[in-house]
Each structure stands twice: as C-alpha cells, then as structure tokens.
C-alpha cells in the first residue's frame, strides 16, 4: 500500500503544485514574460528609430509608459477588489487587492525612477513639481501608506475594510494623473494623445514597439500577481487552519 501511494504521488505533479499553492498557469506566464521582454528589448534598442528631438534618451519612453499603464491598472484592481470586499466580505477580494497594491507600488516606483532618468537630460533636472509628476508622487504616497497600514496593523477584518476604503480613495488619483496635462500648465510631454488631439508617435515602428513593450509589462504584471495572490491565499488558508486547530484544542480542553 505504501509503495502504491508513493507511486501515485509521484505521477501527479499538478497535485503537488496545488499543494504548494502555485497555479498551473504561472510557469507559462513566466515563459511568455521572458519571451515578450526579449522581443521588446530588441525592438527598443535595435528596431525602433531614434527620436529626432530628444535623441537616444527618448527610448526610456518604451519602459516608462508601460510601467505607468501597469501601475494604473494595478491600483484600479485594488479599488475594484476593495469594493467587492466591502460588499461581499470575502477574504479572497482582500487578498487580491493586497497583492495588486504591492505589485502596483513596484511599477509606480519604476515610473518615478524612469521619469527622473528621462527628465535629467531633457529638462536639466531630476525632478520638478510639474502637475503630472506631483500627482503621480501623491499616488505613490497614498499606496505607500496603504501598504504601511497593512504591514503594521493587525490582520483583522476591520483593518482590511479600512484598507479597502483607502485603496478605493487613492485610486481616484489615477484619472487626475491622466488628464493633468490638460487641466494644468505643464512641461510634461503629451505623447500618446497630444493637446491638439493627435499623437506624438509618427513612425509606425514607434507604435509597434510601444505596443509590444506594453503587452510584455502587462503579462509580467499578471504573472507576478498570480504568484503573489497564490501566496496570500495560502497564508489565509494557514491562518484559518490555525484558528480551527486552536478552537479544537480549546474544545478538547473543556472536555
């Protein structure tokens, strides 16, 4: 019987993966992320033409914009998950929002870093309190506060509900960032959609490169989110098991 059981566990790797909490799709997303990243790097440094006015430094645009898109999408998912958690009270929505906030914070940080690297040779300064930069920094601070709250406070439903509210309110800054170049006087370039209604990517190769890079970063976000969400779900299940074990021990002690 023991030999039969060991053979059965050996031929069921998917069961082992589920036991570890790793989704079956995660390795494939990892491979897709690698392939798309290699393709986007080739297009950024070999395929796309150099922009006439800004020169080679403009190539950071193909990393800066996809990072911004992913950060905005991640924080939007935080808000949606928070709304569902407040409505349904299901822990799965809190875990999803928490995971998305962590990854969104990474990409939002990359937005600020790549923006500064781009700004120094073009504007002559690493940072300026431009409307888009300032509102993006506010977004970073808001979700930094969200993560500090979740890390330092007790892991209780009350904290989760308060975090959901913070995540929803903070996400309201995302549309403000998007329209900031039209609402206020700014030196930040409006490349994707100009103030005249067109776009600044005149060469089709620039559009193709931006699309490939955006898909690559989006797939990376999905991959990282899947892995982190699986970890949080496993943590939630372990917490529930410990709670049930404590109740069982308490009941046994009463007997």
Domain annotation covers residue 29:
no
Reported as a single tens digit per residue, the pLDDT across 26-79 is 889 999 999 999 999 999 998 988 877 777 888 899 999 999 999 999 999 999
Domain annotation covers residue 252:
no
Q: State the greatest distance between any 2 C-alpha atoms of the chain, in Å, as a whole number.
A: 82
Alpha carbon 7 to its chain centroid, in Å, reads 40
Domain annotation covers residue 162:
yes
SS3 51: strand
Residue 205 structure tokens: 């190769």
Domain annotation covers residue 224:
yes
Please give the pLDDT value at position 56: 84
If you average pLDDT over every residue of the chain, what do you get? 84
CB within 8 Å of 35: residues ≥ 6 apart: none
Domain annotation covers residue 70:
yes
* pLDDT of 251 higher than 50: yes
Domain annotation covers residue 47:
no
Q: Which residue has the tokens 């779900």?
A: 233
Please state, for a pLDDT cut of 70, what percent of the chain lies above it. 84
> Torsion-angle region of residue 128: left (phi > 0), alpha (psi -120 to 50) or beta?
beta
Please give the pLDDT value at position 249: 72
> Torsion-angle region of residue 153: left (phi > 0), alpha (psi -120 to 50) or beta?
beta
Please give the pLDDT value at position 2: 45
Q: Of 38, 24, 26, which Cα lies nearest the Cα of 216?
A: 38
Boundaries of domain holding 186: 56-236
Task: Provide the number of structural domains found in the chain.
Answer: 1
Average pLDDT over residues 104-127: 89
Domain annotation covers residue 181:
yes
Report the range of poorest mean pLDDT among 32-41, 126-135, 187-196. 187-196
Please give the pLDDT value at position 13: 46
Please give the pLDDT value at position 101: 96
Domain annotation covers residue 37:
no
Bigger pLDDT: 5 or 142?
142
Please give the pLDDT value at position 16: 44
Q: At what angle do helices 91-123 and 131-152 cross, to 10 degrees?
A: 140
């Amino acid at each position: 019987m023991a030999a039969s059981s060991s053979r059965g566990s050996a031929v069921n790797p998917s069961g082992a993966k589920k036991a570890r909490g790793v989704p079956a799709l995660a390795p494939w997303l990892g491979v897709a992320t690698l392939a798309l990243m290699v393709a986007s790097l080739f297009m950024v440094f070999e395929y796309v033409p150099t922009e006439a006015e800004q020169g080679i430094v403009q190539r950071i645009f193909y990393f800066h914009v996809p990072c911004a898109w992913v950060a905005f999408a991640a924080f939007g998912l935080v808000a949606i998950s928070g709304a569902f958690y407040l409505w349904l009270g299901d822990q799965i929505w809190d875990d999803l929002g928490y995971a998305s906030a962590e990854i969104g914070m990474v990409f939002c940080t990359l937005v600020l870093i790549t923006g500064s690297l781009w700004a120094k040779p073009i504007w002559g300064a690493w940072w300026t309190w431009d409307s888009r930069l300032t509102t993006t920094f506010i977004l970073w601070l808001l979700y930094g506060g969200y993560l500090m709250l979740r890390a330092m406070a007790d892991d209780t439903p009350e904290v989760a509900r308060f975090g959901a509210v913070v995540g929803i309110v903070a996400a309201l800054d995302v549309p403000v960032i998007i329209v900031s170049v039209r609402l206020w006087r700014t030196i930040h370039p409006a490349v994707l959609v100009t103030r005249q209604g067109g776009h600044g990517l005149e060469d089709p190769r620039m559009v193709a490169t931006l699309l490939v890079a955006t898909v690559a970063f989006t797939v990376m976000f999905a991959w990282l989110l899947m892995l982190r969400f699986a970890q949080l779900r496993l943590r939630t299940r372990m917490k529930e098991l410990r709670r049930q074990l404590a109740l069982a021990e308490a009941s046994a002690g009463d007997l």
